[in-house]
Structure formats: C-alpha cells, structure tokens
Amino acid sequence: MIIYNVTVSINHDVHDEWVKWMKDVHIPDVMATGFFLEYRFARVLLVDEADGVSYSIQYLCKNMADLQVYHGSHAPKLQAEVNKKYEGKFAAFRTVLETVD
C-alpha cells in the first residue's frame, strides 16, 4: 500500500475556512479521481503553531503506478486550485510512503 502524504501549515487567519474547504471540496475532489482507496485528515500535534496550524492529509492507494498516473493527470489542476485560493497563506510538502506489513 502506498501513502501519499501532504503536510500543510495554514495561516491562522484562513484556518477555519481552509479546514471547511478541505473537507467539503478539495479532499472529495481528490477522492473522486478514483486513484485513492481512503484518506485520513489529521492535525499535527506538538509543533510550534506561531505561524500557522499544521495538518497531514494521507491518501492511500494500491500502488506506485496509480500514484504516478494521478500525479500526471490530476495533481497539477488540484494543486493549482489550492494555490489560487490560498496563495501566500500556506506552506506544503509532500512525501510518499510504503506500508510495511
């Protein structure tokens, strides 16, 4: 199983709006691509929140091939939507993990 993890620090002034938008719009849009089996949306704890609140959004997919197709066909548009809506209000980084059974 592959985990596509997006860690985001969102500014305090748009935090509540961003959380609602993530739950109501962005995450459903990502899931609607059909490449992910499930997701987890979690607040990162025990970190300095002076500049913003941090979250981890983990999308689970079957294999790297699916993730690569997602990255090539859907990720640029979805990431552009986030950038347009919250430009300058967040920082994000992405990691890809493989579960160990």
pLDDT tens-digit profile of 28-85?
999 999 999 999 999 999 888 888 999 999 999 999 999 999 999 999 999 999 999 9
C-alpha–C-alpha distance, residues 56 and 40, integer Å: 8
Q: Residue 100, exposed/middle/buried by CB under 10 A (0-12, 13-18, 19+)?
A: exposed
Pairing of β 38-43 and β 90-98: unpaired
3 state DSSP class of 36: coil
pLDDT of residue 95: 97
The confidence score (pLDDT) of residue 65 equals 97
Show the DSSP H helices in the chain as ranges.
15-21, 27-32, 64-73, 75-86
Res 26: pLDDT: 97
* Phi, psi angles (nearest 5°) of residue 70: -55, -50
Query: What domains are defined for the chain?
Result: 2-98 (3.30.70.100)
pTM: 0.93
